[in-house]
Chains A and B, each alone.
Chain A
Amino acid sequence: MQALTSYPIRLSLGLMFLMLGLVACKPDNPDPFDRESMLSNIGNEVLLPVHRSFLQQSQSLDSLTEVFVGNPTQENLGLLQNQWAFTKRSWKRVEVFEIRQASDLFLHNKIDKWETKAGFLQDNLEGSEALTATFVENSGSTSKGLPALEYFLFVEDALTTFTTAPLADRRLDYIKALTENLFQQATALLNIWEGDVGAFVVETENFSKGSLNQLVNAQVSLLCEILFEKLGKPMGKDTGGTPIGTKAEAYRSGVSLSLIMENLKGVKASFLGDPSLPGMDDLLDHLDARSNNQMLSELIIQQLDLSIQKVAVAPGPLVKTVETDGPILEDLYQTIRTCLGYIKVDMANHLGILITFKDTDGD
């Protein structure tokens, strides 16, 4: 009894009752923002569908490659080239989701690591090893996936290289092996996400492994890549202003700008989810996040839309227009830079998100 009446014990009991009282009370706002619903929306309504769509496109690409290999005509080549562009665009919607296991296993690199190493591809072509999907699987990331296919499909006088030019048969074998491997990677990626989306949805905490934290970092990372690599480098931002068109992604096929557009649409979709369900915009609104006297969610959506509009009307192909249409591209560049600022700085500040996956020891 003596122990029970001592002051520390009484204080501890008092605190415990206070805590129980708090738990028993209902908060003023009984409906705090449900982050799990938001992640479920993004995961189930955007993430999985874009991966499924990419798998379908990869399958079509593999089938059309088989048709072309069996009957290498100009018409079949045209169909195959178109399908490659569809597949590549479809991939650009997936790219923003390079997080969790998909990132840990470097699957994105196996599908679309640019720029491809032309020298490696040429060496393999001229070598004696059988060019199979297994051979491609064992190759490095810079000699497989969509960029490697582009190298073969969009070369000048492409049909000749597959029909009458030296090594034409091996070239056909190689593209078949590449598309087969691509389809395998797309299948593996979707399988991983189908098993992992549940964990993605429930990991709502705000530390570095939290899903929202990872997704915002991935959005920032992709917008940085667009700005620094996909636009900045061809525009000559790091070479004193001398444009280098061949620094553009997919310059051989001339679809660089449309890929940027799909990337931006992918970022927007990952931000909104299905607009009728809770997305990151709703989370920001719930927090009453404002910037420049405007709702931050609106600012981000407006800036993403503006970027998409400007890239849609920018003259292409980028490999050439960096030389001739600098001011238009500069305007696009600045629009995307502003958009990056809103997401990387304003949104991260309002959400208390750590920009970088690096674990910290900070206070």
Chain B
Amino acid sequence: MATKGLAARLLEPTEAFPLAIFRIAFGVLMLGSQLRFLLRGWVEDLYLTPSFHFTYDGFEWVQVLPAGWMYALVIGCAVMALGIALGWFYRICCVGFFLSFTYLELIDKAWYLNHYYFVSLVAFLLIFVPAHRVWSVDAWRKKAAASPFVPAWSVWLLQFQLGVVYFFAGVAKIKYDWLILGEPMKTWLSARTDFPLIGLWFDEPWMAYIFSWGGLIYDLSIPFFLLWSKTRPFAYLAVVGFHLMTWLLFPIGMFPWIMMASTLIFFTADDWRKWGKNRLPEKPHTPPVFQAKKVWGLFLALYLGIQIFLPLRHFLYQGSVLWNEKGLRFAWHVMVMEKNGMTAYFLSDPATGKNWTIYPDAYLIPAQERQMAFQPDMIQQFGRFLRAEWKKKGYEEVRIRAENRVCVNKQCRDVEWEIE
């Protein structure tokens, strides 16, 4: 009975235009994001310049394309984002945007960002979510696609995704460093004493604790306050305040804007109508009856399960996730550490007695080197790359050891790695 009730609620008709607002905001931001990528020369810098890329396990086939194709991919991605915003060939644009954006992200682990992952997930969900029923070129051109209603699941799914980001970003902060040491906030704030008005106190430990604990409480609670109609306007004010603050304090690019735009999905048609007065469409009558096949419910359950499992999977591994980084990606570990490293590789060939000391700097661009220098899987991956390179030079059985100095939130260690 409970399942039936849930299914009925998921299929309940709800007004479509809040979803359209989300679609337009997301599309416009993604268009801006891709144009920014092009204008800053990042296609050249991040993809075409490096001679080596840290591919993801299982996605080694995702490689940098020839320069012309790489530019075409990013421009295509921008065009698809525009298509999403306009609701023009909406489904095709969602598929195209998801594939092109995700392809770009999968080329190199060094460029992994939580908010890029979030963008890929939202793009994937939009493929299935009918966000083009109103305020879209598709609805204008083909009346069949137009409808003032969408099933409730299409809004809930996006709200769930937002909730997962915040909630698990909060869970990721329940750590000794964050709560007891006030790190990395102490480090980051003390570097920003030039900040207007309150920067004067950024050297004070209590300020770091206010930010740390405040951030934790914010992350864990904000999805629920956004869901509750009585607290929603204040929660959104908090979202804007919080993300504006992070934007002013830290170099985190598009992330604050993406979150401020995405959380609009929590506002209902009635909320919008309260503020929009006569400018918004009147409440429509005669809602349709939505239906869905069981397989769709299974797919939904599977997606939700994966989204809950991935951020928690690091608990399956021994040791601190901040150090071993097992289960750190795709898990909303947002801004939980200040981490730096330096790695040197020592190669020896028993057959000839030759020894080499190799620094990744010779092969990588500085931004890649910075990332790989403290991420254990990338240290191993680069070591395997060196082995392959030396094999090409005729050294079949070269032994490789890496020495790595790494600091996490002011704790520093020397670590030795045997390259597998």
Contacts and interface: CB of A to CB of B under 8 A. Distances in A.
Interface of A: 7-8, 11-12, 19, 22-23, 27-29, 32-33, 35, 204-208, 224, 227-228, 232, 237-242, 286-287, 289-292, 337, 340-341, 344-346, 348-363
A228 B367 CA distance: 18
Contacts of B190: 287, 352
B357 A238 contact: yes
A35 B114 contact: no
B187 A363 contact: no
B203 A33 contact: yes
B367 A360 contact: yes
Contacts of B406: 345
B358 interface: yes
B2 interface: no
Contacts of B355: 240-241
B354 A208 contact: no
A13 to B, nearest CB: 13
B356 interface: yes
Contacts of A357: 366
Interface residues of chain B: helix, strand, loop or mixed (majority): mixed
Nearest to A351: B191
Contacts of A208: 251
Contacts of A291: 407, 412
B113 A362 contact: yes
A227 B361 CA distance: 12
A242 B253 CA distance: 46
A27 B190 CA distance: 14
B330 interface: no
Interface string B217-260: 00000000000000001100100000000000001111100000
Most buried by B among A35, A287, A363: A363
A286 B254 CA distance: 33
Contacts of A346: 340, 405, 407, 412
B407 A349 contact: yes
Residue from B184, B194, B362 with most neighbouring chain A CB atoms (10 Å) = B194
B252 A363 contact: yes
B198 to A, nearest CB: 6
30 contacts: A8-B233, A22-B201, A23-B197, A23-B198, A27-B200, A35-B193, A206-B191, A227-B359, A228-B362, A232-B357, A237-B356, A238-B357, A240-B349, A240-B352, A240-B354, A241-B353, A291-B407, A291-B412, A292-B412, A337-B344, A341-B405, A344-B342, A345-B341, A346-B407, A350-B187, A355-B366, A356-B367, A358-B366, A360-B367, A362-B253
A290 B409 CA distance: 12
Contacts of B253: 360-363
Interface size class of B (residues with CB under 8 A): 35 or more
Contacts of A362: 113, 251-253
B192 interface: yes
Q: Describe A's contact surface by its main secondary structure.
A: loop
B359 A345 contact: no
B204 interface: yes
A23 B201 CA distance: 9
Contacts of A290: 410
A242 to B, nearest CB: 8
B410 A350 contact: yes
B283 interface: no
Contact of A205 (B194, B203, B407, B408): B194
Given A11-B237, A228-B362, A287-B190, A349 B339 contact: yes
A177 B24 CA distance: 64
B370 A354 contact: yes
B25 to A, nearest CB: 19
B397 to A, nearest CB: 14
A356 B255 contact: no
Contacts of B349: 240
A22 B198 contact: yes
Contacts of A242: 354
A351 B190 CA distance: 8
Contacts of B45: 358
B115 interface: yes
A349 B412 contact: yes
A340 B359 CA distance: 13
A25 to B, nearest CB: 9
Contacts of A352: 184, 187-188, 190-191, 338
B251 A228 contact: no
Contacts of B353: 241
Contact of B410 (A12, A241, A289, A353): A289
Contact of A344 (B184, B340, B367): B340
Given A27-B204, A287-B190, A346-B407, A358 B367 contact: yes
A164 B342 CA distance: 54
Interface string B16-45: 000000000000000000000000100001
B365 interface: yes
B203 A29 contact: yes
Contacts of A204: 193-194
A242 B115 CA distance: 47
A361 B252 contact: yes
From A7, A208, A349, name the one whose CB has the most chain B CB atoms within 10 angstroms: A349
Contacts of A28: 204
Contacts of B72: none
B113 A361 contact: yes
B410 A363 contact: no
A341 B359 CA distance: 13
A224 B359 contact: yes
Given A208-B251, A363-B335, A358 B340 contact: no
A206 B357 contact: no
A360 B405 contact: no
Closest 8 pairs (CB-CB, A-B)? A361-B253, A240-B354, A349-B407, A356-B366, A206-B191, A32-B203, A358-B367, A237-B357
Nearest to A359: B40
Given A344-B340, A352-B184, 17 more contacts: A12-B237, A23-B197, A23-B198, A27-B201, A206-B191, A287-B190, A289-B410, A344-B342, A345-B405, A345-B412, A346-B412, A353-B191, A355-B366, A358-B45, A358-B365, A361-B254, A363-B113
A239 B357 CA distance: 9
A208 B40 CA distance: 15
